[in-house]
Amino acid sequence: MLYALFFSREIAKALLCPFFRCPFAVCVRAVRGARAEFITLCSSYSARTASSDDGTFGKVLATTCPGPFPAVLDLWGGGGGLVEYRSALLASKGYVALSLEYIGRVDDDGKPYQVDSAAFDVLKQHPQVCPERIGILGLSFGVSVALGMAAYSTVVKPRCLVGVSGSHIMPVNGSLADVFAQIKKNVKNTRYDEEHRIIWRDLLLPIPDDPSKKVEMGRIKCPILLIVGEDDQNWPAAESAEDMKKMMDQAGNSHLLSVLSYPEAGHLIEPPYTPHCRASNFMLEETREKVIVLWGGQTEPHSYAQEDSWYKTLAFLEQHLYSQ
């Protein structure tokens, strides 16, 4: 029964669907006399190919139709790994999506991998992609990376950008290693709740006044949609969105910024119907130590935020990537 799931009090991994390469088969039992024939719930299909060009490692997901289509570079957060289900959903909506693995990877010189134009070029050169219609979608730490690319790259020119539960705090022209080094300096600001679950939002607070420690929002020329959970216990998304708006007001480009802010929503604002995860196990990238992180949010308002923000994200992408 689709509605019979309930929440366990035991802390474990976040519940995610790993079966993104095939549709769900749903059997619906109805009362006597109901129509019994099968009804197609969803007919979209995604093809999945690996990409390792120019040191870029990820998966390209696309519909099997010939195209060309708009594309989205999908950047996940600091947890690392290759996460594909959001890209698969975007592919089912008519986009070519590249889910990029960048946390914890190193280049040929053994240095931390730096997200650059090579990842964008993978999409631009894809035979199913309209190269002038590419957007970026970032989650958590991926928002900082996305904003940095949009502000400073002379090659990456996204048509639009979506940032979920993220921040603009990143040294000007700094590398990923620089960002993590700055965060480590503030590790003393780590807090714990009464159940000893980690609260990391203070690692970036207070929002710095020094402009060299933040992405220059005035340099960004594309529309931005920010999605904020007001009970985010992992990242100061609300404070960051407020500061970004202030910076863009001063630069004269605040007309490009839209903010969706959701009371009592937490950090992990996923696609709709993903179960709300208030806290879960998390593995630290460097030490491989397992800890319990508090993400925040209350179930009902957080679930509403996931549903509302996803459909508004799709509308935003359609407006800026599909419209003339």
Q: What are the sequence ranges of the domains in the chain?
A: 46-322
Rounded to whole angstroms, how far apart are CA atoms 232 and 212? 25
Residue 72: its pLDDT value, please? 94
pLDDT 10s digits, 217-243? 999 999 999 999 999 999 999 999 999
Catalytic residue among 168, 267, 276, 302: 267
The CATH architecture annotation of domain 46-322 reads: 3-Layer(aba) Sandwich (3.40)
Residue 167: its pLDDT value, please? 95
Active-site residue, 308 included = no
Using DSSP, state whether 214 is helix, strand or coil: strand
Across all residues in the chain, what is the average pLDDT?
Answer: 81
What is the percent of the chain where pLDDT is above 70?
74
Using DSSP, state whether 255 is helix, strand or coil: helix
Catalytic residue among 144, 232, 240, 243: 232
Rounded to whole angstroms, how far apart are CA atoms 177 and 174? 8
Residue 276: its pLDDT value, please? 92
- Mean pLDDT, consecutive 10-residue stretches, the chain (324 aa), reads 49 52 52 54 48 59 80 82 80 89 59 64 86 94 91 90 95 74 85 93 92 94 98 97 97 97 97 90 78 95 97 97 84
User: Which residue blocks in 44-175 are alpha helix, DSSP H?
Assistant: 85-92, 117-124, 141-152
Q: Within a 13 Å sphere around the CA of 48, how many CA atoms are in the beta-carbon half?
A: 18
Catalytic residue among 140, 144, 165, 309: 140
Active-site residue, 178 included = no
Element spanning 60, H or E: strand 57-63
Residue 105: its pLDDT value, please? 55
Residue 66: its pLDDT value, please? 77
Let me know if 116 is exposed, middle or buried by CB neighbors in 10 A (0-12, 13-18, 19+): middle
Active-site residue, 140 included = yes
Residue 216: its pLDDT value, please? 95
Residue 23: its pLDDT value, please? 47
